[in-house]
Structure 1
């Protein structure tokens, strides 16, 4: 594929502050030697993108300058890196959006997701901020790029990043084959956790959410039983060997603890707000539950790509809406409505 002549600017999704989201042209810069130019095809709207728009912050990461959003992206290399690294022009790629932090801080060598100072595309954790890739042409380090197998559509591959988060969470649960599982919170990550649990051989999967639409999606990707979040007695009666908590609030964590069997394991992937949380930890103590944190992912992305390509990981129902970039504001409004949507995609080529 011949490399294309790039324009001087390209449309992007830019958060300027709380409640101030704009679709506007941004200047394109020359890539560094180790960067390829990727023409973005699809981008999935994540909860952190919504937080930057709605609150001007995602947790402790506070927006101080305008920032291009987006880290769940796929596309095609249109200009290969000049240093010869990475895929050639014409290669379709998914993106691993993390950059492990430098320095000698202590963390397990095989878990760079835990490195202090680790940055992510579209993150205000540091200043200057790390711009994301919700723009037509993105300069991306070649170490982030993962070539996609032939036959894996870009639209399905747009779920590679969030599916990797779910895959990592299920991995943190240990072996799940033949075990009973409970997933609390069936937004995109929770629904994808259901799909990963199904592929991993969980014997029975129960899914919990406040709304009918997420439960419908969870059932479509493999949940055997779905429960409304207010049904505390039914949740407690599940007594799951493994629980994936993906709601990101203390009510969900309470349900996860109540729904776990004595001696069971609760994996916390939903990011709760900072500060104290009103949760009945005494139950976790007296039932000898294992509460396990799960944060982003590492090399699981390669296994996810393979599983999506061979069809063993079924995720198609998770995508519920697709919008052209020009309708980006409508896309974000739909994505914030968890009662009506699953994963909402932006199409950068339409």
Structure 2
């Protein structure tokens, strides 16, 4: 089978790997679509994501959907041909976090396509992927695989909005209109936010944000940015992963407001306007990955409550993987780029 493998900074290969078979309790999924994430781009460009460096070749990808190909012994409720989404996380289910129901912050989690462990956890950008049966969710009837490919990043956004609490009727600021930021906008819209203001340095992603529910957009670095002064949002969600974006959130919420940190900041010490947290008595919470939200998101995608389709800006066959990664790496020209593992390379 084919697999998209990172061998180091700048080394991305489409190579042959042995076709895997499921062991008892496992499921083999024939992948149709895989969404290229920021972490995939970091492994390709830098050979690392934060402190997690490649120490062996790594099959990338954790945003994958497809059809069940084969099930291992003892698996019930999943039949070959069923259209499914794959939850990328395998928590330990034994630590304090897992036992308290917070599997998404389990310190021992194995995550598809991650170099956080050694040996690395090989990812989902392959023709066939084998995972534990409990990580496989059957799609709701009527939800096509292309839309379902957004479920994993949308669950990240859904979890972040959940961390903000009830946003019904509230004014919300979102910094960063990348794929996750735009999906945060879609989730906020679904949750009943009255006003959603989105910032980004590029015009194209702001157009996507508007298409999924932003009530207004602000391009950073232009005269339009003055509109943020005195905004006094109830909630701000930082999804750009930049210190400047974090400061915009800290200064953009009203006194006593809430900031949700979602975008991963550069590793090491990061200077932010911490005094604003103290003097304006702000609440700041983190948001990391997701847990059970994937099932909720699949239902919301099926019903149309989650307006996410405009986030997909390109779908390219896996045979053109280098072009797909180059496209995904240009935020001025793309939002979410999907790899199609069952399309011809033409």
Q: Are positions 1:65 and 2:51 aligned together?
A: no
Partner of 1:340: 333
Partner of 1:38: 29
Partner of 1:51: 42
Alpha-carbon distance, 1:37 to partner: 1.0
Contact 1:236-1:255 at 8 Å conserved across structures: no
**What SS class does the counterpart of residue 264 from structure 2 fall into?**
coil
Q: Are positions 1:329 and 2:304 aligned together?
A: no
Distance 1:104 1:157 in 2: 31
Q: Are positions 1:249 and 2:251 aligned together?
A: no
Alpha-carbon distance, 1:258 to partner: 1.2
Q: Which residues in structure 2 correspond to 1:57-206 (within 5 Å)? A: 57-101=48-92, 103-105=94-96, 109-206=100-197
Distance 1:106 1:234 in 2: 41
Distance 2:247 2:77 in 1: 45
Q: Stretches of 4+ moved more than 4 A in 1?
A: 105-108
Distance 1:339 1:71 in 2: 23
Alpha-carbon distance, 1:107 to partner: 6.2
Match of 1:28 among 5, 19, 37: 19
Contact 2:93-2:103 at 8 Å conserved across structures: no
Query: What is the number of equivalent residue pairs in this alignment?
Result: 341
Distance 1:116 1:168 in 2: 18
- Judged with a 3 Å threshold, the aligned counterparts in structure 2 of structure 1 residues 249 and 86 are, in CA distance, closer, same or farther, namely farther
Q: Are positions 1:317 and 2:310 aligned together?
A: yes
Alpha-carbon distance, 1:48 to partner: 0.4
Alpha-carbon distance, 1:84 to partner: 2.4
Partner of 2:216: 225
Alignment RMSD, CA only?
1.2
Q: Which residues in structure 2 correspond to 1:298-317 (within 5 Å)? A: 298-317=291-310
Distance 1:105 1:300 in 2: 20
Alpha-carbon distance, 1:101 to partner: 3.0
Contact 1:14-1:24 at 8 Å conserved across structures: yes
**What SS class does the counterpart of residue 329 from structure 1 fall into?**
helix
Alpha-carbon distance, 1:234 to partner: 2.1
Contact 2:234-2:254 at 8 Å conserved across structures: yes
Distance 2:98 2:276 in 1: 30
Q: Which residues in structure 2 correspond to 1:255-266 (within 5 Å)? A: 255-266=248-259
Alpha-carbon distance, 1:262 to partner: 0.8
Partner of 1:293: 286
Distance 1:151 1:268 in 2: 34
TM-score, normalised relative to structure 1? 0.95
Partner of 1:7: none
- Judged with a 3 Å threshold, the aligned counterparts in structure 2 of structure 1 residues 63 and 221 are, in CA distance, closer, same or farther, namely same
Alpha-carbon distance, 1:103 to partner: 4.6
Contact 2:30-2:127 at 8 Å conserved across structures: yes
Match of 2:5 among 3, 14, 26: 14
Alpha-carbon distance, 1:106 to partner: 5.2
Distance 2:138 2:266 in 1: 35
Q: Are positions 1:267 and 2:260 aligned together?
A: yes
Distance 1:187 1:67 in 2: 24
